[in-house]
Chain A
Amino acid sequence: MAIIRNKRRHGLVALSLILPFLAIFALVFAYPLYEVVRLSFTDAPLIGEGNWIGLDNYVRLFSDRIFYISIKNNAYFVVLTVIPTTLIAMVIALAVNRLSGRWQALALVLFFTPYVLPVSVVTQIWAWMLDFQFGVLQPVFTFFTGKPVPVFKNPYWVLPSIAVVTIWWTNGFNVLLILAGLRNIPTDLYEAAALDGATRRQLFARITWPLLWPVTALVLTLQLILQLKLFDQVYLLSEGGPFNTSYVLLLMVYREAFQLNHGGYAAAISLILFLLIAVVSVLQYQLLRIGRGKDT
């Protein structure tokens, strides 16, 4: 009897411990999610009730030209940022790891500082540096293309430019993660490999790369999720232009919800984005894990 009563009390204590979390989770995640799903089947404005219209929002979405432009741009941006930023972070981390003491700290501060800046400051800095008339980087464009380029107003340059800004802004964090991964590799292993006759390239290929792979996979996945959620930089630098060529899904959500007052339609787009991120990131992480298994 005592054991049964204790078991029951045990259950009650456990429940009381997780209840606050469950309540907050339900309030700020589950309920809004439910509301978004519900809204996406209505023609509701941003505030207020709407009428149930079934799948109309989705039907409209799949015939919306800007939706396809946005999807394509999101994918293009992922290609432009995720792997490049990871590779750049790895090169920087490997270089920083070879510095010692004070120099290493200084290099880390320099690479990490942009990450601390708010997005509006970052975009201001780059808008100024790439300004068509006064930008300090315009001579570079002039050198390669023969004339200054208004990068944020040029359909070909706009997304690559935003990608460069984004990599510059967020790279410090990736450097930090990869550096932590590098420091976790015991120096003994490098010494043992040196005695085994490994060259520098073999040290990287057979020790550093495989042992760093879990961190690399993490960085790739975090970057994928982060870059699919692209909004601020586009909003502040190009506002989706020129001619809607830099539209992305979140910008579309913003315009439909807050500028055109289409709450239901915006909910449908955000639900699609949510599913996209969930599926792609789970898929990627699984693929990377399989890759790791093969790596040995």
Chain B
Amino acid sequence: MSGVKLTNVRKSFGPLDVIKDVSLEVPKGEFGVFVGPSGCGKSTLLRMIAGLEDTTGGKIEIGGRDVTAVEPAKRGVAMVFQSYALYPHLSVAENMAFSLRLSRAPKHEREEKVREAARILQLTDHLDKKPSALSGGQRQRVAIGRAIVREPEVFLFDEPLSNLDAELRVQMRLELTRLHRQIGATMIYVTHDQVEAMTLADDIYVLKGGHVMQSGRPLSLYDDPDNRFVAGFIGSPAMNFVTGKVTGTGNGIARVACADGTLDVALQGALPGPGADIILGVRPEHLAPVEEGGLPVTVEVAEELGGSSFIHARSATGADIVFERRGQRDRLDGQSLRIAAPAENVLAFLPDGRRLR
């Protein structure tokens, strides 16, 4: 197994720079997820690793070998496409054995590998069927099987679950995690769905506008984002943001006037001076109603999820605020109340989006 290392990788389509100087490393055996909004370049980056797109600049290494100019089949990668890209005229077994047939592998070897992949993916009963006779989830598994049979050093997944319904997606997510444990190969997975990223990844790489905004373990990105974009992108419902001005500082705490109320934020570094513009970010689970202080809000809608509920409220200045309640059944619809969060759970960002720690 091998890791994947990108050094100063760039990609332009004519005058349009899609990937701007990306350097990252997915260590061997890890499950790395590229996540970002549509158009951020994540799929292009994956296709560049696969060799399906030329590289405008920089270096791509797989297992320590420079593969920047190597053709796709010789990079030791297998890819699972969003559309599955199954050969419609071939049976499931033939689809999975396609690469082995091309390389003229002996028949018994082909059959053995296909049988093994089919066993792992529970496709044994479907080997003679054509892809058109399979359900979405089964087709997905055939596509994965086709990758497994090649025994690649690196698996690449391009939004493989986006064509499945919600329930099947959850199930396939678990199966992918299990598969990764079972075969231990390096996997790179592209998605726009941050829930998928959080649940699957060893490491998440958040992309925006052709740059890696931040990478790291899912929970470290969630708890300790480097910038406002990552803070807002990771987490569902998204983090609440309110803009305000610093009114006073002391003991590592800055008091910020915002949305007709005040919030305290704990900072380790130099505190901003009074009057400085600042954006505060608070996760819904850290906000709770308080007797006094905090922000005044009016509750608009409650999303009841059973164990917990997400309360959608509006601040005095019109900002949307979401907070989570657990185990309480009384309804708050239409009520005016005050909410606040502990200072250590409030994050501060500069107006340009950088995190203030």
Residues in A lying within 8 Å of B, measured CB to CB: 186, 188-189, 191-199, 202, 206-207, 210-211, 295-296
Contact = CB atoms under 8 A, between A and B. Distances in A.
B168 interface: no
A197 to B, nearest CB: 4
A44 B52 CA distance: 71
Quick one: which of A194, A195, A198, A207 has the most chain B CB within 10 A?
A195
B301 interface: no
A295 B73 CA distance: 25
B83 A211 contact: no
A216 to B, nearest CB: 13
Given A186-B85, A196-B98, 20 more contacts: A188-B81, A188-B85, A189-B87, A191-B81, A191-B85, A192-B79, A192-B87, A193-B87, A194-B73, A195-B52, A195-B77, A195-B78, A195-B79, A196-B150, A197-B74, A202-B102, A206-B98, A211-B88, A211-B89, A295-B89
A196 B89 contact: no
Contact of B99 (A196, A210, A295, A296): A196
Contacts of B51: 195
B103 interface: yes
A254 B146 CA distance: 61
Nearest to A198: B102
Contacts of B247: none
Nearest to B78: A195
Given A186-B83, A188-B81, A193 B98 contact: yes
A101 to B, nearest CB: 13
A195 B155 CA distance: 12
Interface string B159-179: 000000000000000000000
Contacts of B213: none
B81 A192 contact: yes
B150 A191 contact: no
B103 A210 contact: no
Contact of A196 (B73, B81, B88, B91): B73
B203 interface: no
Contacts of A198: 73, 102
B87 A207 contact: yes
Nearest to A202: B102
Q: Which 5 A-B pairs have the closest CB atoms?
A: A197-B73, A188-B85, A196-B99, A192-B85, A210-B89
Contacts of B90: 296
B94 interface: yes
A188 B79 CA distance: 11
B72 interface: yes
A196 B102 contact: yes
9 contacts: A191-B72, A191-B79, A195-B50, A195-B79, A195-B99, A198-B102, A206-B87, A206-B102, A211-B88
A244 B98 CA distance: 55
A25 B77 CA distance: 60
